[in-house]
Amino acid sequence: MNLSLKKIISTLDAKTIDIQDTLEIDTISIDSRSLQNNEKTLFFALVGTNHDAHIYIKDLIAKGVRNFVVTHIPEGLEGKANFLVVKNTLEALQQTASYYRSLFSFPIIGVTGSNGKTIVKEWLNFLLSPDYNIIRSPKSYNSQVGVPLSVLAINEQHNLGIFEAGISTVSEMDKLEKIIQPTIGILTNIGSAHDQGFENLEEKIKEKMLLFQNSEALIYQKNSNVEQHILPKMKAVSWSFMDTTATVFVSKKEHTHDHTLIEYTYKANVSTLQIPFVDDASVENVISCLLVLLHLDYDAKTIQNRIELLFPMEMRLKVKKGINNCSLIDDSYSSDFQSLKIALDFLESQKQHQKKTVILSDIFQSGLSNEELYSKVAELIVSNNINRFIGIGETVSTLKTKLDNALFFKDTDEFLLQLENLNFENETILIKGARSFQFEEIVSALAEKTHETVLEINLNAISHNFNFFKSKLKTGTKMMAMVKAFGYGSGGFEIAKLLEHHKVDYLGVAFADEGISLKTMGIKLPIMVLNPENTSFPAIIQHQLEPEIYSLKGLNAFLKIAEQKKLKDFPIHIKMDTGMHRLGFELNTIDDLISTLKGNRTVKVKSILSHLATSDDLQHKDFVEYQINLFEKLSSKLMNGLGITPIRHILNTSGISNFPEAQYDMVRLGIGLYGVSNDSEEQKYLENVGTLKSIISQIRTIQSGESVGYGRRFMANGESKIATIPIGYADGIARSWGNGIGFITIKNKKAPILGSVCMDMLMVDVTEIDCKEGDSVVIFGESPTVTYMAEQLKTIPYEILTSISQRVKRVFYRE
Ligand X SMILES: *Cc1c(COP(=O)(O)O)cnc(C)c1O
Q: Which of 113, 322, 489, 670 binds ligand X (CB under 6 A)?
A: 670
Residue type, 786: V
Choose, by CB under 6 A, the member of 482, 498, 572, 593 that binds ligand X. Answer: 482
What is the CB neighbour count within 10 angstroms for residue 723?
Answer: 26
Nearer to ligand X, 527 or 777 (CB): 527
**Cα dihedral 349→144→139→297 (10° resolution):** -160
In the list 37, 653, 663, 677, the residue contacting ligand X (rule: CB under 6 A) is 653
- Minimum CB distance to ligand X smaller for 287 or for 530: 530
Q: Identify any residues that bridge with 680 across adjacent strands, giving them in sequence order.
A: none
CA gyration radius for the chain?
A: 29
Rank residues 173 and 528 by Cβ distance to ligand X and give the closer one: 528
* Residue 661 neighbours by CB under 8 Å, 6+ apart: none
What's the closest the beta carbon of residue 575 comes to ligand X, in angstroms? Answer: 8
Active site residues: 484, 710
Contacts with 772 (C-beta within 8 Å, 6 or more apart), sequence order: 696, 699
Residues 356-375 that bind ligand X (CB under 6 A): none
Closer to ligand X at the Cβ: 352 or 653? Answer: 653
Q: Kind of pairing, strands 603-609 and 570-575?
A: parallel
234 is in an annotated binding site: no
Q: What is the closest distance, in whole angstroms, from the C-beta atom of residue 508 to ligand X in the complex?
A: 7
The span of 54-62, 211-219, 515-523, 670-678 binding ligand X (CB under 6 A) equals 670-678
β-partners of residue 528 are: 508, 546
Q: Contacts with ligand X: how many residues (CB under 6 A)? A: 11
Question: CB of residue 653 vs ligand X: minimum separation in angstroms?
Answer: 3
Site string for ligand X, 429-468 (x = CB under 6 A): ----------------------------------------
Helix axes 552-564, 590-597, angle to 10 degrees: 10
Where does this chain touch ligand X (CB under 6 A) — which range of 63-71, 269-277, 668-676, 734-742?
Answer: 668-676
Residues in Cβ contact with 235 at an 8 Å cutoff, skipping those fewer than 6 apart: 216, 217, 218
Shorter beta-carbon distance to ligand X: residue 562 or 576: 576
Nearest distance from C-beta of residue 569 to ligand X, angstroms: 24
Distance CA 187, CA 200 (A): 17
Give phi and psi for 779, each to the nearest 5: -85, -45
> Which member of 530, 605, 757, 778 binds ligand X (CB under 6 A)?
530
Q: Which is nearer to ligand X, 260 or 652 (CB)?
A: 652
Which residue lies nearer to ligand X by CB, 396 or 482?
482
User: Between residues 329 and 528, which has the closer beta carbon with respect to ligand X?
Assistant: 528
> Least distance in Å: CB of 532 to ligand X?
13
Q: Which range in 19-27, 222-230, 516-524, 666-674 contacts ligand X by CB under 6 A? A: 666-674
Stretch that binds ligand X, among 153-161, 489-497, 630-638, 669-677 (CB under 6 A): 669-677
144 lies in the binding site for ligand X (CB under 6 A): no
- What stretches of 12-159 adopt beta strand conformation (E)? 24-25, 27-29, 41-44, 67-70, 82-85, 108-112, 134-136
Residue 557 Cβ vs ligand X, minimum distance, rounded to whole Å = 21
- Rank residues 428 and 653 by Cβ distance to ligand X and give the closer one: 653
Task: Examine residue 668 and tell whether it contacts ligand X (CB under 6 A).
Answer: yes
Are the CB atoms for 123 and 132 separated by under 8 Å?
no
User: To the nearest whole angstrom, how small is the minimum distance from the Cβ of residue 650 to ligand X?
Assistant: 9
- CA 815 to chain CA centroid, Å, is 4
CA dihedral defined by 249, 254, 260, 262, rounded to 10 degrees? -20
Q: Which residues contact 428 (CB under 8 A, 6 or more apart)?
A: 326, 327, 328, 329, 347, 350, 351, 352, 353, 355, 356, 357
Q: Which residue of 289, 603, 671, 734 would you call a contact of ligand X, by CB under 6 A? A: 671
- Smallest distance from ligand X to CB 654, Å: 6
Which residue's Cβ has the minimum distance to ligand X?
Answer: 670
Q: Helix, strand or coil for residue 805?
A: coil
Q: Is 752 helix (H, G, I), strand (E, B) or coil?
A: strand
Q: What one-character DSSP code corresponds to residue 316?
A: S
CA separation for the pair 424, 407 (Å, rounded): 13
CA 145-147-151 angle, to 5 degrees, is 125
Shortest distance (Å) from residue 789 CB to ligand X:
17
Nearer to ligand X, 654 or 691 (CB): 654
Cis amide prior to 148 (ω within 30 degrees): no
Q: Which among 45, 43, 42, 51 is positioned nearest to 24, based on CA atoms?
A: 42
For residue 771, give every residue at least 6 positions away whose Cβ sits within 8 Å of its Cβ, in sequence order, or none. Answer: 696, 699, 723, 746, 747
Tell me which of 339, 652, 657, 688 binds ligand X, using CB under 6 A. Answer: 652
Of 704, 693, 754, give the one whose Cα is nearest residue 726.
693
The verdict on 648 binding ligand X (CB under 6 A) reads no
φ/ψ region of 268 (left if φ > 0, alpha if ψ in -120 to 50, else beta) reads left
For residue 531, the minimal CB distance to ligand X (Å) is 8
The answer to the question of whether 582 is labelled as a binding residue is: yes
The CB-of-668 to ligand X minimum distance in angstroms stands at 4
> Which span (338-346, 491-499, 662-670, 724-732) binds ligand X, by CB under 6 A?
662-670
Q: What CA–CA distances, in Å, run from 653 to 610, 657, 659?
A: 14, 7, 10
According to CB under 6 A, which residues from 580 to 599 bind ligand X? Answer: none
> Please, which residue, 536 or 677, has the CB nearer to ligand X?
677
Q: Which helix (H) or strand (E) holds 164?
A: strand 160-164
- In angstroms, give the least distance from the CB of 484 to ligand X: 6
Of the pair 188, 653, the CB lying nearest ligand X is at 653
The piece of 82-90, 467-475, 489-497, 667-675 that touches ligand X (CB under 6 A) is 667-675
Q: How far is CA 677 from the centre of its chain?
A: 20
178, 611, 648, 693: residue in contact with ligand X (rule CB under 6 A): 611
Closest CA to 587 of 514, 638, 528: 638
Residues of span 750-809 touching ligand X by CB under 6 A: none
Q: Binding to ligand X (CB under 6 A): which residues in 238-297? A: none
Residues 294-323 that bind ligand X (CB under 6 A): none
Where do runs of H (alpha helix) occur along 80-223?
Answer: 89-101, 117-128, 146-151, 172-180, 201-209
Give residue 341's identity as a one-letter amino acid code: K
Q: Annotated binding residues for substrate, as ranges?
A: 582, 759
Q: Annotated binding residues, as ranges?
A: 582, 759
Residues near ligand X, by CB under 6 A:
482, 484, 530, 611, 652-653, 668-672
